[in-house]
Amino acid sequence: MIEVVGLGRVFQRRSGLLRLTSAETVAVGDVSFEIAPGELFGLLGPNGAGKTTTIKMLVTLLLPTSGSARVAGFDVVASPHEVRKRVGYVFGGDRGLYERLTGLDNLRYFAELYGVDPRDQRARIGELLELVGLTGREREKVEAYSRGMRQRLHIARGLLHDPPVLFLDEPTIGIDPVGARELRTAITGLRSTGKTILLTTHYMREADELCDRVAVIRRGEIVAQGTPASLKSLTGGGDQVLEVTVANADAETIERVGGLRGVGAAWVEEKADGPVVMIRIEPGADVIADVVAALQDARIERVTTREATLEDAYVELVSRE
Amino acid sequence: MSQRPGRARRAAAGLHVVFVIWRIHVKLYLASPFEGFLNIVWPLFFAAMAFLIDDATGNHVIMRYTLFGIAAMGVWSSVAVSGSSLLQHARWGGMLELIVAAPRSFSLILASMTLALETTAVFSFAATLIMARYLFGIPVRIDDPALFIVAVVLTMIAMGMFGFVLAVSAVRYRSAWVIGNVLEYPGWILCGFLVPLALLPAWAHPVSDVLAPTWGIEAMRAAAGGQSPWTGLLICGALAVAYVCAGVLIARAVVQSARVHATLALS
C-alpha cells in the first residue's frame, strides 16, 4: 500500500540580502520501507530525525529531492491529486482546527474539502463522532474541548473521506494518560477496519502495543526495521536490563561498564530520582558484581533488573554513533 | 449529451463547496469579537470622514461623488489587508497544509474564503452609508437602486477575486501578507474613491485601469446619478474574470513551488 524507495529531502536555506549565503540541511537522507495493506507501521525516532518530513512527502505536502514513493498505487510526485483522495493526515497538537467553530462545523467544512458527497455527509459525520467518542459534544466550540477531544476530532477529520491510508503524526503528544489510552483504542479500532496506518510516536510502549512493524529513523536514515519483537532481539531480545540508580555518572565510567564481559550495551537515562545507568545484560551472563565494582565511584543508590523493552532497543539504536 | 449530466453534477458540487466554505468562514468571522468591534468602528470612522468632508465643503455634488468611494474604502482595506494575511493566519493555525493536502481545488477553496471575507466587508459598505445618512444626516440619493445593487454586488465579487490573487502569493512567500498593508492607502487613491482619477498623474492611470474597484465605483456613481453604469459594470466584470484566471494559474504555480521550497508550514 505504501512503497518508499531511497526517499530523501534536502532543505536549502538562504540568508543575507546583499551577500546571499546558502546552507543545506539533509532532513531525510535515504529512507526505504514498505507497508502492506491493513498494516499498522510505526516510524520511531528522536526529534529532528525526519519522521514528519517523511510523512509530509508521502501526503504530497513536500516534494522529495531524491528517491520515490507510491501511496495506494500512485506516485506522490506525479499524481498528488490521486494520492490526496486516498490518504488522511492527522497531526498532534492544538493546531489544524477552527477553534471558534463547533466540532460539527469543523467536520462539515473538511467534508467539503475532502469531497464527501453532500448527501452522505450527515451520516458519515455521525459515524465518525461515534467512532471517536464525541457524540453529544459536536455542537460545542472546539476552544472548549480538552486536548484529547481535539485529537479525536482530528482523527475524525482525517477519516471523513474514508481513506484507505491514514498518516498519524504523533497523535498522542501532550495528551493525558486516559486520553492517550482512549486514542489508542480508537487507533486499534481503525486497524480492525482494514486501514493502512503509518504512525509516528515518541512513546515506545504505544508503538509496542499498536504496531505490527516499526522502523527506527535516525538523522534521516532508517537504522532498523521489523516487528517490535524482532527489534528487541536485534539489540539482544530476551535480555535482562540492569538499572543502577547512581549519584553521578561520567562518560568514562559508562564506557568502562559498556566494555565489561557479558554487557551488551550501557547508557545513562536521567530520571526523577537521578541518573540511572541502564545496562543490557547478554543472555546467561552474570555481571552484577562486575558492574557494581565498576560503578563504585558513582555512589550506587539502587539496583534493579527487568526484561528488555522496545524502548531499550530504541534508545540503543538512536544512541549508536 | 452524456457528458452534460456529469458536468452539471460537477458544477453543482463546485457551487456546494463554495457555499459551504463561504458560510463557514462568514460564521468564523462573525464569531470573532474583535472582528465584530472593527465592523462597527470602521464604518463609523468612514461615515465621520464623509461628514467632515460634507461639513467642510458644504457641496452636495462633491459629497455625492465621494460618499460611495468612502463607503468602499473599508471594503478595499478588508481586501488588501485581510485578504493578503488570510493564508498567513491559516499557516499559523496549521490549516494551510490541510487545505493544500485536500483533494478539492485549492483555488476553489481560497476563492470561497476570500468571498466570505468580502461578505463581511459588504456590511462595512452598507453600515457606512446608513451611519452617514442617519447619524450624520448626509443625504444618500440613489436614482436607480436595482442597477446600483448590481454594481455593488459585482464590485464586491471583483474585489474578492482581487483579494484571492493577493492571498495566493502568501502560499509561497511567508512575508507576502505585507503586500496588503502596502496597498491599502495607495488603493484608496488609485481606485478613485476620494478624488477623481483625472487629478492623478498620467502614469497612475494604467494602474487605476486594471483595478476593478475603479470601474465598480464608477458604475455605482453612474447608477446612483441615474446614468448608464454598463461600461463600468462590464469592465469590472471582465477584470473579475481576469483576476480569477490569473489567481488559478498563480495558485497552481505557487503551490508547486511551496512543495519544493517547503513554505506551507510555519518553519
- Looking at A76-90, A247-261, B148-162, which range is the least confident one? A247-261
ipTM of model: 0.82
Angle between helices B145-172 and B106-134 (to 10 degrees): 130
Please tell me the distance from the alpha carbon of residue B203 to that of residue A49, in angstroms, as a whole number.
54
Higher pLDDT, B36 or A159: A159
Q: Which residue of B has its CA nearest to A57?
A: B259
Please tell me the distance from the alpha carbon of residue A235 to that of residue B219, in angstroms, as a whole number.
77
Q: Residue B2, class by beta-carbon neighbours within 10 Å (0-12 exposed, 13-18 middle, 19+ buried)?
A: exposed
> Would you state the cell numbers that stand for residue B150, as one nine-digit string?
448590481
Q: What is the 3-class SS of A247-276, one letter each residue?
A: CCCCHHHHHHHHCCCCEEEEEEEEECCEEE
pLDDT, tens digit (0-9, with 9 covering 90-100), for A146-205: 888 888 898 899 889 989 999 998 888 777 788 788 888 888 888 888 899 999 988 888
Please tell me the distance from the alpha carbon of residue B27 to that of residue A284, in angstroms, as a whole number.
68
Q: Residue B19, class by beta-carbon neighbours within 10 Å (0-12 exposed, 13-18 middle, 19+ buried)?
A: middle
Higher pLDDT, B59 or A7: A7
Strand partners, A34: A3
For residue A45, the distance in angstroms to the closest alpha carbon of chain B comes to 20
Q: What is the pLDDT of residue B42?
A: 77
Q: Classify domain A233-319 by CATH architecture.
A: 2-Layer Sandwich (3.30)
- In sequence order, the 6+-apart residues with CB closer than 8 A to the CB of A285 are A261, A262, A263
Judge contact between B102 and B29, C-beta under 8 A.
Answer: no
Average pLDDT for A80-107: 89
Q: How many CB atoms lie within 10 A of CB B137?
A: 9
Confidence check: pLDDT of B5 > 70: no
Judge contact between B96 and B174, C-beta under 8 A.
Answer: no
Judge contact between A208 and A309, C-beta under 8 A.
Answer: yes
Give the residue among A101, A114, A112, A221 at the shortest CA–CA distance from A159. Answer: A114
Of B101, B104, B261, the CB nearest to A89: B101
Q: Classify domain A2-226 by CATH architecture.
A: 3-Layer(aba) Sandwich (3.40)
Hey, where are the domains in chain A? 2-226, 233-319
H-helix segments, chain B: 3-30, 33-57, 60-77, 84-92, 95-100, 106-134, 145-172, 178-190, 204-209, 212-224, 230-261
Q: What is the pLDDT of residue B1?
A: 46
Place of cell 490569473: B246
- In sequence order, the 6+-apart residues with CB closer than 8 A to the CB of B223 are B142, B143, B144, B147, B148, B150, B151, B229
Confidence check: pLDDT of B211 > 90: yes
Strand partners, A222: A217
> Would you state the cell numbers that stand for residue A77, as one nine-digit string?
510526485
Q: What is the pLDDT of residue A36?
A: 93
| 3-state DSSP assignment of residue B266 | coil
As a whole number, the mean pLDDT across chain B is: 84
Please tell me the distance from the alpha carbon of residue B190 to that of residue A217, in angstroms, as a whole number.
56
- In sequence order, the 6+-apart residues with CB closer than 8 A to the CB of A182 are A133, A148, A152
Confidence check: pLDDT of A96 > 90: no
Using an 8 Å CB-CB cutoff, list chain A residues near B255.
none
Higher pLDDT, A140 or A283: A140
> Would you state the cell numbers that stand for residue A49, as one nine-digit string?
530525525
Q: What is the pLDDT of residue B244?
A: 92
Please tell me the distance from the alpha carbon of residue B225 to that of residue B216, in angstroms, as a whole number.
14
Give the residue among B109, B83, B108, B112 at the shortest CA–CA distance from B96. Answer: B109
Of B28, B109, B264, the CB nearest to A98: B28
**pTM for this model (two decimals):** 0.80
Interface residues of chain A, partner chain B, Cβ below 8 Å? 11-12, 56, 59-63, 81, 84-85, 87, 89, 91, 93, 95-96, 98, 100-101, 105, 108-110, 112-115, 118, 161
Task: Classify the C-alpha dihedral A198-A199-A204-A210 as positive or negative.
Answer: negative
For residues B153-191, one letter each, b for 16 or more C-beta atoms within 10 angstroms of the residue's C-beta and e for the rest, the string is: ebbbbbbbbbbbbbbbbbbbbbebbebbeebbeebbebb
Length of chain B in residues, anyone? 267
Please tell me the distance from the alpha carbon of residue A20 to that of residue A278, in angstroms, as a whole number.
47
- Looking at A54-58, A92-96, B34-38, B257-261, which range is the least confident one? B34-38
Give the residue among A109, A105, A93, A159 at the shortest CA–CA distance from A130. Answer: A159
Strand partners, A196: A165
Judge contact between B263 and B180, C-beta under 8 A.
Answer: no
Q: What is the pLDDT of residue A84?
A: 92
Higher pLDDT, A197 or A278: A197
Using an 8 Å CB-CB cutoff, list chain A residues near B13.
118
Give the residue among A295, A228, A284 at the shortest CA–CA distance from A256. Answer: A295
Phi and psi angles of residue A11, each rounded to the nearest 5 degrees, phi first: -95, 135
Please tell me the distance from the alpha carbon of residue B117 to that of residue B79, in angstroms, as a whole number.
8
- In sequence order, the 6+-apart residues with CB closer than 8 A to the CB of A24 are A10, A11, A12, A13
Q: Is B260 on the interface with A (CB under 8 A)?
A: yes
- Distances from the Cα of B257 to the Cα of A10, A62, B165, angstroms: 15, 10, 16
Give the residue among A6, A88, A14, A95 at the shortest CA–CA distance from A54. Answer: A6
Confidence check: pLDDT of A118 > 90: no
CB contact (8 A) between residue A118 and residue B16: yes
Confidence check: pLDDT of A235 > 50: yes
Q: What is the pLDDT of residue B4?
A: 55
Around B166, how many Cα atoms within 13 Å sit in the side-chain half-sphere?
30
Q: Is B104 on the interface with A (CB under 8 A)?
A: yes
Confidence check: pLDDT of B233 > 90: yes
Q: What is the pLDDT of residue B128?
A: 84
Using an 8 Å CB-CB cutoff, list chain A residues near B110.
none
Please tell me the distance from the alpha carbon of residue A50 to that of residue A282, in angstroms, as a whole number.
32
Q: Which residue of B has its CA nearest to A91?
A: B94
Q: How many CB atoms lie within 10 A of CB A269?
A: 12
